[in-house]
Amino acid sequence: MNELSVPRPNDLDAYFMPFSDNKYFKSHPRLLARAEGMSYFTPEGKEVLDGTAGLWCSNAGHGRREIVEAIQKQAAILDFAPTFQLGHPLAFEAAARVADLTPKGMDRVFFTNSGSESDDTALKIALAYQKARGQAQRVRLIGRERGYHGVGFGGMSVGGIGGNRKQFGTQLPYVDHLPSTHLPAQNAFVKGQPAHGAHLADELERLVNLHGDTIAAVMVEPVAGSTGVLVPPVGYLERLRELCTKHGILLIFDEVITGFGRIGNHFGSERLGVIPDMITMAKGLTNAAVPMGAVAVSDEIYDTIVNGVAGGIEFFHGYTYSGHPLAAAAAIATIDIHVREDLPGRAKAMEPYWEEATHSLKSSPNVIDIRNFGLIAGIELQPREGKPGDRAMQVFRRCFDDGLLVRVTGDIIALSPPLIIEKSHVDRIFSTLADAIHKEA
Ligand code: PLP
């Protein structure tokens, strides 16, 4: 654009959109101009019921006044302050508030600005910890096929999604993967946690036999979201925990989606009864009103790294915006809402109704699997011959036109509504979705 050109308000050219079909979007734009409670509104004022909490993130619903006011107030008091060798009160308060929600003994919190940054930070903390405790040979990082850990080189490499890597050619070295826990032949249409698959955690033994004592950490999502809602088989995470402890390997839970009430507790680890050594989070932490992520680490990890050097900087890592005042204000206000309104409890109370509604789609055409846990659901559709992803994408577009936002990954429709959802919203989501699936038969 030259100096004299005036952008048209509807000029869509300049924005190079993330994870998007730019060409299609720019010829068929879908714009969201406003949001409130359970809904978005288009620039024309049409309501779109939010079946996905944005991108799994606006857990307390949209436009929460307390969060808006906290951000506005903080912007006028302190717009920015560095947190390298300095600090400001809200960053410390926000860390303490997060630590109140994380499992006991996991009371140290490092701030980032996104899930991707949280995941890369956790991987670096794992390496720093192993080195500080005299295990510098432990440089290997283990992920899982169909895991999603964001888009940094660390998270992308430890993640297990081929499509997210094939464009870039290079990966982080010293990475290996556990198999996916997805066993459709045994577990299709199971409600909640599937019975089969705990044995897949034993693959870690095989990797230990192969790599010896060079493994620093294992990173997994307790419930994989972005690859189509893969719920952990009964006993799987327990077994992984056992093996990590046995072999001196850190266990990192990526709770970017499962954190902040999504599966009925503040963190998924509590719901699933397995305590990792680190938890990564983002999204629901600020209700997505300001970008922020965090890594909660066990006191032992923090103490080992911080006491590992005599003086000076202990951990050579951080972001200009780590603990940003506006994000910290948003996080505190968000946590206030979660606790006061017991959003995890609300999610848990709604789960049976949600589960029944989800599985009501079983008889819809081309539905080949349904998975659910907490307020998450994945509905897998039979791909169209030679056109993978097309059927689900058409369902997504139909739903949007009919006033419902769903998310699509491959031929899977993923749902994760704000936790303030009422039964009438659940009914609307599934009747609109059933209609769209029928029309795409
Ligand atoms: N980890 C998980 C489990 C996620 O679902 C996501 C995003 O969906 C990320 C990491 C990356 O988060 P962000 O997009 O904030 O970088």
ipTM for the complex shown: 0.99
Q: State the pLDDT at residue 1.
A: 45
Q: What is the DSSP string of 89-102?
A: HHHHHHHHHHHHHS
Residue 96: inside a domain: yes
Is 255 a pocket residue for ligand 1 (Cβ < 6 Å)?
no
Strands of 259-388, DSSP E: 278-281, 293-297, 367-373, 376-381
Residue 119, amino acid? D
Q: State the pLDDT at residue 61.
A: 98
| Dist. CA 252–CA 124, nearest whole Å | 12
334 and 350 share one domain: no
Q: State the pLDDT at residue 6.
A: 55
Residue 1: inside a domain: no
> What CATH number is attached to the domain comprising 374?
3.90.1150.10
Is 120 a pocket residue for ligand 1 (Cβ < 6 Å)?
no
Domain span at 435: 22-60+342-439
Q: Which portions of the chain are predicted below pLDDT 70?
A: 1-10
238 and 314 share one domain: yes
222 and 270 share one domain: yes
Question: Would you give the end-to-end CA distance of the chain in angstroms?
Answer: 45
Give residue 289 CA to ligand 1 midpoint distance, Å: 16
Q: Is 402 left (phi over 0), alpha (psi -120 to 50) or beta?
A: alpha
Q: State the pLDDT at residue 164.
A: 87
Give residue 147 CA to ligand 1 midpoint distance, Å: 10
| Dist. CA 287–CA 67, nearest whole Å | 8
76 and 181 share one domain: yes
Q: Please report the atom of ligand 1 found closest to the CA of residue 115.
A: 12
| Of 52, 59, 229, 256, best ligand 1 pocket probe by most atoms within 8 Å of the beta carbon | 256
Q: State the pLDDT at residue 60.
A: 98
Contacts of 120 (CB under 8 A, 6+ apart): 150, 152, 153, 154, 155
46 and 172 share one domain: no
Residue 7: inside a domain: no
286 and 400 share one domain: no
43 and 77 share one domain: no
| Dist. CA 130–CA 248, nearest whole Å | 9
Instruction: Please state whether the predicted TM-score (pTM) of the whole model is above 0.90.
Output: yes
* Average pLDDT of the chain, as a whole number: 96
Give residue 317 CA to ligand 1 midpoint distance, Å: 20
Is 269 a pocket residue for ligand 1 (Cβ < 6 Å)?
no
Is 291 a pocket residue for ligand 1 (Cβ < 6 Å)?
no
Q: Please report the atom of ligand 1 found closest to the CA of residue 119.
A: 10
239 and 365 share one domain: no
Residue 15: inside a domain: no
Residue 145's CB is within 10 A of a number of other CB atoms, namely: 16
Is 400 a pocket residue for ligand 1 (Cβ < 6 Å)?
no
